[in-house]
Protein backbone atom coordinates (compact mmCIF):
# COMPACT_ATOMS: atom_id res chain seq x y z
CA UNK A 1 0.00 0.00 0.00
CA UNK A 2 2.84 2.43 0.85
CA UNK A 3 4.28 1.77 -2.62
CA UNK A 4 0.99 2.84 -4.17
CA UNK A 5 0.88 6.07 -2.15
CA UNK A 6 4.50 6.84 -2.96
CA UNK A 7 3.50 7.12 -6.63
CA UNK A 8 0.95 9.86 -5.88
CA UNK A 9 2.10 13.32 -7.00
CA UNK A 10 2.89 15.76 -4.18
CA UNK A 11 0.00 17.96 -5.35
CA UNK A 12 -2.50 15.15 -4.71
CA UNK A 13 -1.01 14.39 -1.30
CA UNK A 14 -1.32 18.07 -0.42
CA UNK A 15 -4.94 18.11 -1.56
CA UNK A 16 -5.70 15.16 0.70
CA UNK A 17 -4.06 16.95 3.66
CA UNK A 18 -5.99 20.17 2.92
CA UNK A 19 -9.28 18.34 3.43
CA UNK A 20 -8.44 16.92 6.87
CA UNK A 21 -9.02 18.46 10.28
CA UNK A 22 -6.27 18.91 12.87
CA UNK A 23 -6.82 15.57 14.62
CA UNK A 24 -6.80 13.63 11.34
CA UNK A 25 -3.67 15.44 10.17
CA UNK A 26 -1.84 14.51 13.38
CA UNK A 27 -2.82 10.84 12.94
CA UNK A 28 -1.75 10.87 9.28
CA UNK A 29 1.64 12.36 10.14
CA UNK A 30 2.24 9.60 12.70
CA UNK A 31 1.19 6.56 10.64
CA UNK A 32 2.44 7.42 7.12
CA UNK A 33 6.00 8.37 6.21
CA UNK A 34 4.72 9.14 2.70
CA UNK A 35 2.15 11.68 3.92
CA UNK A 36 4.10 12.94 6.93
CA UNK A 37 5.78 15.94 5.21
CA UNK A 38 2.56 17.29 3.66
CA UNK A 39 0.54 16.57 6.81
CA UNK A 40 3.04 18.40 9.04
CA UNK A 41 3.27 21.29 6.61
CA UNK A 42 -0.50 21.73 6.84
CA UNK A 43 -0.61 21.00 10.57
CA UNK A 44 1.96 23.66 11.47
CA UNK A 45 0.95 26.30 8.93
CA UNK A 46 -0.88 28.20 11.68
CA UNK A 47 0.19 27.80 15.31
CA UNK A 48 -2.15 29.29 17.92
CA UNK A 49 -0.86 29.40 21.51
CA UNK A 50 -3.25 32.02 22.83
CA UNK A 51 -4.82 29.85 25.55
CA UNK A 52 -4.73 32.00 28.69
CA UNK A 53 -4.01 29.00 30.94
CA UNK A 54 -1.62 26.95 28.81
CA UNK A 55 0.18 29.39 26.51
CA UNK A 56 3.49 29.03 28.34
CA UNK A 57 3.36 25.21 28.20
CA UNK A 58 2.37 25.23 24.54
CA UNK A 59 5.25 27.58 23.71
CA UNK A 60 7.68 25.24 25.47
CA UNK A 61 6.29 22.23 23.62
CA UNK A 62 6.62 24.06 20.30
CA UNK A 63 10.23 24.93 21.10
CA UNK A 64 11.03 21.32 22.04
CA UNK A 65 9.37 20.04 18.86
CA UNK A 66 11.43 22.45 16.77
CA UNK A 67 14.61 21.35 18.53
CA UNK A 68 13.95 17.73 17.58
CA UNK A 69 12.60 18.50 14.10
CA UNK A 70 14.10 21.81 12.84
CA UNK A 71 12.12 21.59 9.60
CA UNK A 72 8.91 22.30 11.57
CA UNK A 73 9.89 25.96 11.92
CA UNK A 74 9.90 26.33 8.15
CA UNK A 75 6.23 25.32 7.98
CA UNK A 76 4.90 28.02 10.31
CA UNK A 77 3.48 31.01 8.47
CA UNK A 78 1.16 32.32 11.19
CA UNK A 79 2.00 32.43 14.90
CA UNK A 80 -0.41 33.68 17.57
CA UNK A 81 0.97 34.28 21.06
CA UNK A 82 -0.81 35.50 24.19
CA UNK A 83 0.64 36.18 27.65
CA UNK A 84 3.44 33.70 28.36
CA UNK A 85 3.16 33.47 32.13
CA UNK A 86 4.82 30.46 33.75
CA UNK A 87 2.26 28.38 35.62
CA UNK A 88 2.87 27.62 39.26
CA UNK A 89 0.78 24.42 39.26
CA UNK A 90 1.27 21.05 37.62
CA UNK A 91 3.13 20.94 34.31
CA UNK A 92 2.71 18.35 31.58
CA UNK A 93 5.50 15.74 31.53
CA UNK A 94 7.00 16.66 28.12
CA UNK A 95 7.16 20.29 29.22
CA UNK A 96 8.53 19.53 32.69
CA UNK A 97 11.62 17.91 31.20
CA UNK A 98 12.43 20.94 29.04
CA UNK A 99 11.74 23.26 31.94
CA UNK A 100 14.10 21.45 34.29
CA UNK A 101 16.90 21.27 31.75
CA UNK A 102 16.83 24.85 30.53
CA UNK A 103 14.86 26.88 33.12
CA UNK A 104 13.47 28.84 30.24
CA UNK A 105 11.72 32.15 30.75
CA UNK A 106 9.19 33.50 28.26
CA UNK A 107 11.88 35.78 26.84
CA UNK A 108 14.29 32.88 26.36
CA UNK A 109 11.63 30.82 24.57
CA UNK A 110 10.91 33.58 22.06
CA UNK A 111 14.59 34.43 21.68
CA UNK A 112 15.36 30.87 20.56
CA UNK A 113 12.16 30.14 18.67
CA UNK A 114 11.54 33.16 16.43
CA UNK A 115 14.82 33.01 14.44
CA UNK A 116 13.85 29.43 13.46
CA UNK A 117 10.61 30.58 11.81
CA UNK A 118 12.15 31.55 8.50
CA UNK A 119 8.81 31.73 6.64
CA UNK A 120 6.72 33.46 9.28
CA UNK A 121 4.41 36.01 7.65
CA UNK A 122 1.84 36.88 10.34
CA UNK A 123 2.67 37.40 14.01
CA UNK A 124 -0.30 38.01 16.29
CA UNK A 125 0.92 38.91 19.74
CA UNK A 126 -0.26 40.37 23.05
CA UNK A 127 1.17 43.85 23.57
CA UNK A 128 3.05 42.99 26.77
CA UNK A 129 4.82 40.08 25.03
CA UNK A 130 6.55 42.60 22.75
CA UNK A 131 8.28 44.00 25.84
CA UNK A 132 9.61 40.61 27.00
CA UNK A 133 13.41 40.62 26.99
CA UNK A 134 15.63 37.75 25.95
CA UNK A 135 18.19 36.25 28.34
CA UNK A 136 21.17 36.57 26.00
CA UNK A 137 20.55 39.90 24.31
CA UNK A 138 18.45 41.57 27.04
CA UNK A 139 16.56 43.24 24.21
CA UNK A 140 12.75 43.32 24.03
CA UNK A 141 10.99 41.26 21.39
CA UNK A 142 9.88 44.41 19.58
CA UNK A 143 13.55 44.99 18.66
CA UNK A 144 13.99 41.42 17.38
CA UNK A 145 10.97 40.90 15.13
CA UNK A 146 11.57 38.68 12.07
CA UNK A 147 12.50 40.67 8.96
CA UNK A 148 10.24 38.61 6.68
CA UNK A 149 7.00 39.53 8.51
CA UNK A 150 4.22 40.81 6.29
CA UNK A 151 1.69 41.51 9.05
CA UNK A 152 2.20 42.34 12.73
CA UNK A 153 -0.99 42.30 14.81
CA UNK A 154 -0.89 43.63 18.38
CA UNK A 155 -3.61 42.90 20.93
CA UNK A 156 -4.00 45.41 23.78
CA UNK A 157 -6.18 44.11 26.59
CA UNK A 158 -8.27 45.86 29.23
CA UNK A 159 -5.34 47.08 31.32
CA UNK A 160 -2.68 49.38 29.80
CA UNK A 161 0.62 47.59 29.29
CA UNK A 162 3.55 48.50 31.47
CA UNK A 163 5.97 50.90 29.75
CA UNK A 164 3.32 51.79 27.20
CA UNK A 165 5.38 54.68 25.78
CA UNK A 166 8.38 52.38 25.34
CA UNK A 167 6.25 49.90 23.39
CA UNK A 168 5.04 52.58 20.99
CA UNK A 169 8.57 53.90 20.54
CA UNK A 170 9.85 50.40 19.75
CA UNK A 171 7.05 49.89 17.22
CA UNK A 172 7.88 53.24 15.65
CA UNK A 173 11.57 52.27 15.41
CA UNK A 174 10.60 48.93 13.83
CA UNK A 175 8.44 50.67 11.22
CA UNK A 176 11.20 53.14 10.40
CA UNK A 177 13.58 50.30 9.52
CA UNK A 178 10.95 49.25 6.93
CA UNK A 179 11.63 45.53 6.55
CA UNK A 180 11.12 44.70 2.87
CA UNK A 181 8.19 42.36 3.43
CA UNK A 182 6.25 44.44 5.99
CA UNK A 183 2.86 45.53 4.64
CA UNK A 184 0.53 45.96 7.61
CA UNK A 185 0.53 46.68 11.34
CA UNK A 186 -2.82 46.31 13.09
CA UNK A 187 -3.67 47.14 16.70
CA UNK A 188 -6.82 45.93 18.48
CA UNK A 189 -7.52 47.43 21.88
CA UNK A 190 -10.00 46.65 24.64
CA UNK A 191 -8.62 49.48 26.76
CA UNK A 192 -10.53 52.64 27.58
CA UNK A 193 -7.59 54.99 27.92
CA UNK A 194 -6.48 57.69 25.48
CA UNK A 195 -3.68 56.85 23.05
CA UNK A 196 -2.31 60.16 21.79
CA UNK A 197 0.54 58.37 20.05
CA UNK A 198 -1.69 56.64 17.50
CA UNK A 199 -1.58 59.61 15.15
CA UNK A 200 2.22 59.74 15.37
CA UNK A 201 2.46 56.03 14.52
CA UNK A 202 0.08 56.51 11.61
CA UNK A 203 2.25 59.31 10.25
CA UNK A 204 5.39 57.17 10.48
CA UNK A 205 3.62 54.31 8.69
CA UNK A 206 2.45 56.61 5.91
CA UNK A 207 5.99 57.85 5.32
CA UNK A 208 7.35 54.27 5.34
CA UNK A 209 4.70 52.84 3.02
CA UNK A 210 3.23 50.56 5.71
CA UNK A 211 -0.52 50.36 6.26
CA UNK A 212 -1.69 50.69 9.87
CA UNK A 213 -5.12 49.86 11.29
CA UNK A 214 -6.54 50.59 14.76
CA UNK A 215 -9.64 48.93 16.19
CA UNK A 216 -11.07 49.85 19.60
CA UNK A 217 -13.43 47.32 21.18
CA UNK A 218 -13.86 49.25 24.41
CA UNK A 219 -17.49 49.55 25.50
CA UNK A 220 -17.99 51.89 28.49
CA UNK A 221 -20.55 50.80 31.05
CA UNK A 222 -23.85 52.71 30.94
CA UNK A 223 -24.10 55.56 33.41
CA UNK A 224 -26.16 54.97 36.58
CA UNK A 225 -27.78 57.50 38.90
CA UNK A 226 -26.91 57.88 42.55
CA UNK A 227 -29.49 55.26 43.56
CA UNK A 228 -27.98 52.58 41.33
CA UNK A 229 -30.72 52.62 38.68
CA UNK A 230 -30.07 52.92 34.95
Give the domain ranges of the chain.
1-43, 45-216
| Helix (H/G/I), strand (E/B), else coil: 94 | helix
Higher-scoring residue by pLDDT: 35, 102:
35
pLDDT at site 75: 92
CB 81 within 8 Å of CB 59: yes
pLDDT in tens, 136-160: 667 788 888 888 899 999 887 655 5
pLDDT at site 76: 94
Could you tell me the sign of the dihedral formed by the alpha carbons of 131, 136, 138, 143, in that order? negative
Average pLDDT, the chain: 76
pLDDT at site 89: 43
pLDDT above 70 as % of the chain: 72
Higher-scoring residue by pLDDT: 104, 205:
205
Among 171, 158, 162, smallest CA distance to 216 is for 158
Alpha carbon distance 11, 8 (integer Å): 8
pLDDT-derived band at 171, boundaries 50, 70, 90: confident
Higher-scoring residue by pLDDT: 185, 93:
185
Amino acid sequence: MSGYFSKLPVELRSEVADNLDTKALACLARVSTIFQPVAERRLYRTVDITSSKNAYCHALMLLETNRKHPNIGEYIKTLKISHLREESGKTQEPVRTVKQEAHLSAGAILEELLPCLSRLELLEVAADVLLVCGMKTQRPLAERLPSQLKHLHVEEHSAPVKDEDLLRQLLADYIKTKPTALELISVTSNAGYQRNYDMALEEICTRSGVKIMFECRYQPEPARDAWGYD
